Structure 1
Amino acid sequence: MNLRTADREAVPEMPNRLGIQGIEFIEYATNRPQALGQVLESMGFRPIARHRSREVTLYRQGGMNLVVNANPDDARVSATADGQAEISAVAFRVQDALKAHTRCIDLGAWSVASHAQAMELHIPAIHGPGGTRYYFVDRWQEFSIYDIDFKPIPTVDQHPMAVADMSYFGVVQYIGASRSEDWLAYYEHMFDFSVIPDEERFGILPKGKLMKSPCGQFLWQLIEPDPWMEVDDSPESLKRIGFGVKDVAQAVKTLKANGVEFVESKELHPEDRGALTRSALGSVSFELVHQST
């Protein structure tokens, strides 16, 4: 046995019992879809398709899909206040959606009842924090979920290029005070996420705890309220999307030309490691994070 083989065997492979292979889509709920659409388009996303039976629009750039859910019959939409938009779901790509869903239910997750209508796909899901959902999608290669439920917008490029080669880097979740250990255990137990050491940091907002997906394609950040903050009874929530870029400065320059504003203060400003957009619609912001590969 040579040294290289020994080294390889000494590092156990991360378990990935759900067969997670990245993020298929992230969904926003809002009762102001046009306003949110303008924000997304300034970030480089383009509307490419509309749902056949609901007020839902699919946006895309590069390998990223964003769904804007403005269906008035959806409780998550009616719960949005003052025209704000909230991240309402994350869909994980998995090898087998039914098996992944069944395993999560066996581990104690709560299933989301299906509201699929005739000729629509049933996408299995479990409940997440603050009324959000985690979907499991196994149709994301040659045949996708959008082929059935969505109608392409005529004359629109179905595969627009990503601005500055942006890709999904991770999701930021706000949690309650002293709840980090509970959520770390949840993601490790339910999805086989693994904790990243505190000394390993990314971007310009190094707060909280970081976890890596078992496929290694995205991160999950858990942030408790600061000790000096007055903690209200607002529910825990998925707060922000992080986009990986190779050149933060160039990405900031390109997005500024699109009208995107960035937070610039003594404590927080765009730099080589990352940048944060100013909040739009009261709740929507994005983080750019330097990603070398």
Structure 2
Amino acid sequence: MTLDREDIGELPNPLGLLGIEFIEYTTSRPQALGQVLERLGFVPVARHRSREVLLYRQGDINIIVNAHQGGLSGQPAPTERPVIAAVALRVRDAARAYQRVLDLGAWAVPTQVEVMELNIPAIHGVGSSRIYFVDRHREFSIYDVDFVPIPGVNQRPAAQHGLHVFGVVQYIGLDRMADWSAFYGELFGFAELPTEQRFGVMTKGAILASPCGQFHWQLIEPEPDAADFEHDELLQRVAFGCTDVPVAVAAMKDAGVAFVEKPGGVHTDARGALTEPLLGELVFELVHDPRGGAEA
């Protein structure tokens, strides 16, 4: 089903959300994850000034690959399996957005800022993940302070196939749907879409629309009889919107990315596609979205 933004309607936007600024993965094998991202069309554009962190980009998507061992207090050390560690939300005023969610009961993440680094406010998300608030994303961005451009690399590589962040998929515990829906609704202004409004080929659970109309948050519970459900609550995957799924899949297959093709089950079609697990349990989803991503 293609996205019709009129279906969402006008939602209140208490934080002044403007989309997703970056997705952060942690891993002890940054080169391996980097190779996967490059097959998807991403380009490494900058290195962190003081940490083992790389910034990958295409169009309007920023992905941070963090292999730094001295993470924030309470954060697990990077493992070989890539994990979505953080999502940064663009907002009009980061300080006001941060204070509002704290007033509503969010838990602050203690900051550990080194010399020549920005203090980016964050709260605890699902599991050990964090949610950042960023208001420097126009003429002057957070990357201008914390990162050094890689020489000779185009800092604004075009989005391949109109790729952009369509949404984030979160696995939740049994009977936790109401709790998480309230978390994203009350703190950020997300609203649940009707059950008949679904996108792509992975349609389980509840889909929450952001109040800015730029992205979605999908909540998926384990099956009620799945006593051996192996996942804790976590951010499980990122869904990329693209203008033509079959064309994008063909190009990514040529680059070495394998997709799930189960006759009678999940398979590539015009609505969407799902990659085979990479580097353990790393998967990405493609969803048809005619809006397209930002060009260089």
TMscore range, shorter length? over 0.9
Q: Which amino acid aligns with 1:163?
A: Q
1:167 pairs with 2:164: yes
The aligned length equals 283
1:47 pairs with 2:14: no
Q: What SS class does the counterpart of residue 129 from structure 1 fall into?
A: coil
1:287 pairs with 2:273: no
Q: Say which of 64, 68, 74 aligns to 1:67.
A: 64
- Overall identity of the aligned pairs, in %: 54
Q: Say which of 267, 270, 273 aligns to 2:271.
A: 273
Alignment correspondent of 1:5: none
Q: What SS class does the counterpart of residue 117 from structure 1 fall into?
A: coil
Structure 1: runs of 5 or more not aligned? 1-7
Alignment correspondent of 2:94: 97
Q: Are 1:31 and 1:77, in contact at CA under 8 Å, matched by a contact in 2?
A: no
Deviation at residue 161 of structure 1 after TM alignment: 1.2
1:242 pairs with 2:239: yes
Using the alignment, how far apart are the partners of 1:119 and 1:41 within structure 2?
29
Structure number with bigger Rg? 1
Alignment correspondent of 2:105: 108
Q: 1:255 to 1:116 in 2, by over 3 A?
A: same
> Following TM superposition, where does structure 1 have runs of at least 4 consecutive aligned residues deviating by more than 3 angstroms?
75-81, 231-234
Q: What SS class does the counterpart of residue 185 from structure 1 fall into?
A: helix
Query: Which of structures 1 and 2 has the larger relative contact order (alpha carbons within 8 angstroms, sep 6+)?
Result: 2
Deviation at residue 228 of structure 1 after TM alignment: 3.0
Using the alignment, how far apart are the partners of 1:157 and 1:77 within structure 2?
33
Q: Are 1:28 and 1:86, in contact at CA under 8 Å, matched by a contact in 2?
A: yes
Alignment correspondent of 2:34: 37
Deviations 1:49-89 (A, max 9, x none): 000011110000011000001001116874444x1000000
Q: Say which of 203, 207, 218 aligns to 2:204.
A: 207
Deviation at residue 250 of structure 1 after TM alignment: 0.5
Q: 1:12 to 1:202 in 2, by over 3 A?
A: closer
Q: What SS class does the counterpart of residue 23 from structure 1 fall into?
A: strand
Deviation at residue 21 of structure 1 after TM alignment: 0.2
Deviation at residue 292 of structure 1 after TM alignment: 2.6
Relative to the length of structure 1, the TM-score reads 0.93
Using the alignment, how far apart are the partners of 1:12 and 1:276 within structure 2?
28
Deviations 1:196-236 (A, max 9, x none): 00111100011000000000000010000122322457531
Deviation at residue 118 of structure 1 after TM alignment: 1.8
Q: What SS class does the counterpart of residue 147 from structure 1 fall into?
A: helix
Q: What SS class does the counterpart of residue 127 from structure 2 fall into?
A: helix
Q: Which amino acid aligns with 1:109?
A: A
Relative to the length of structure 2, the TM-score reads 0.92
Alignment correspondent of 2:190: 193
Using the alignment, how far apart are the partners of 2:163 and 2:236 within structure 1?
19
Using the alignment, how far apart are the partners of 2:111 and 2:76 within structure 1?
18
Structure 2: runs of 5 or more not aligned? 1-5, 292-296
Q: Which amino acid aligns with 2:253?
A: K
Q: 1:259 to 1:234 in 2, by over 3 A?
A: closer
